[in-house]
A and B are shown apart, each in its own frame.
Chain A
Amino acid sequence: MWIDTLFFYLFALITLAGAVLTVTRRNAVHSAVSLILALIGVAGLFLLQKAEFLFAVQIVLYVGGIMVLFLFVIMLVNLDQAARLRQFNRQWWLALACVLAVAAEVIYVLRRGAAAFRYALPEERATAAGNVERVADVLFKEYLLPFELASVLLLAAIVGAVIMARKRT
């Protein structure tokens, strides 16, 4: 399955390059466009792992929804003078060192423990139902209460966002 390997490295490269550009660009619009690149790379990784519904959700919701929200806010908030200021705070080297140390540690442990994933797995069942049907089955049967709570959370977020962004009268 060398083609899977090839596509994994392609999407991983897109994701990591987009992420690095997101946190290093000076202009916030450039950051937003790089973030779109990273999110599309993640969507490709979802597709590679046969999570077609998540792939569609990632494109429609993240790239189509959240990023438009970000771009609207970038246009509303005047970032022209912010782009001319210092971009990183004074302790950036400390943050970089700590995060790199933790990341190296986590990646070392993950690679050492790779053998733990080689246990006997259930065979891939040939079911007629596609990915969307299976996700819906689990979502609406076993996770019905969290699903309803998520709708309450979204309602609270909508009301909160409107109240926050409203002009004081």
Chain B
Amino acid sequence: MLHPITPTHYLVLGAALLAIGTIGVLARRNIVIILMAIELILNAVNINLIAFSHHLRQVHGQVFAIFVITVAVAEAAVGLGILIALFRNRQTVEADEIDLLKW
């Protein structure tokens, strides 16, 4: 009844996690939660990289995952800095209320 786990299992899980993260980015209004959803998307990428690394018996995928984590850290730090500056100026964290450039 319990099948062995194939790379396809991991890829499907990664696709599902990517979809959930994308819904979070597109549909939520709170910018903090949008940033968290971006972290979910990057983790979906990492699942795929590690699945291929394990399947091909090479560690290159794991090295790439380290770089993805590095970029995620940099993105979170700068994003949260921008969020603090934004909150100081506009007193809001709702993504659709920040429409100065909209006509």
* B contact residues, range: 35 or more
Within the assembled complex, what's the spacing in Å between the Cα atoms of A5 and B60? 25
Q: Quick one: given A77-B84, A77-B93, A146-B67, are A158 and B26 in contact (CB under 8 Å)?
A: no
Q: Is the CB of A161 within 8 A of B51?
A: no
How many residues of chain A are within 8 Å of chain B by beta carbon? 89
Q: Within residues 29 to 82 of chain B, which ones have a CB less than 8 A from any CB in chain A?
A: 29-30, 32-33, 35-37, 39-40, 43, 46-47, 50-51, 53-57, 59-60, 62-63, 65-67, 69-78, 80-82
Q: Quick one: given A16-B13, A88-B27, A107-B16, are A135 and B56 in contact (CB under 8 Å)?
A: no
Using a Cβ cutoff of 8 Å, how many contacts connect chains A and B?
233
Q: Is the CB of B15 within 8 A of A107?
A: yes
B3 on the A face (CB < 8 A): yes
Q: Using Cβ atoms and an 8 Å threshold, which residues of chain B touch A88? A: 27-29
Q: Within residues 50 to 87 of chain A, which ones have a CB less than 8 A from any CB in chain B?
A: 50-51, 53-54, 57-58, 61-62, 65-66, 69-70, 73-74, 76-79, 82, 85-87
Minimum CB–CB distance from A48 to chain B (whole Å) comes to: 8
Within the assembled complex, what's the spacing in Å between the Cα atoms of A85 and B72? 29
**3 tightest A-B contacts by CB?**
A164-B81, A23-B24, A157-B74
Minimum CB–CB distance from B27 to chain A (whole Å) comes to: 4
Question: A2-46 interface mask toward B, CB cutoff 8 Å, 1 = contact, 0 = none?
Answer: 101110100010011001101101001001100100110010011
Q: Using Cβ atoms and an 8 Å threshold, which residues of chain A touch B96? A: 89
Q: Using Cβ atoms and an 8 Å threshold, which residues of chain A touch B72? A: 66
Minimum CB–CB distance from A40 to chain B (whole Å) comes to: 11
Q: Quick one: given A88-B28, A111-B8, A164-B85, are A45 and B50 in contact (CB under 8 Å)?
A: yes
Within the assembled complex, what's the spacing in Å between the Cα atoms of A45 and B50? 9
Q: Using Cβ atoms and an 8 Å threshold, which residues of chain B touch A137? A: 59
Q: Is the CB of B8 within 8 A of A65?
A: no
* Interface set of A (CB-CB < 8 Å, partner B): 1-2, 4-6, 8, 12, 15-16, 19-20, 22-23, 25, 28, 31-32, 35, 38-39, 42, 45-46, 49-51, 53-54, 57-58, 61-62, 65-66, 69-70, 73-74, 76-79, 82, 85-89, 91-92, 95-96, 99-100, 102-103, 106-107, 110-111, 113-114, 117, 121-122, 124-125, 131, 134-135, 137-139, 142-143, 146, 150, 153-154, 156-158, 160-165, 167
Q: Is the CB of A73 within 8 A of B13?
A: no
Which of A73, A76, A99, A110 lies in contact with B23, CB distance below 8 A? Answer: A99
Q: Using Cβ atoms and an 8 Å threshold, which residues of chain B touch A8? A: 5, 9
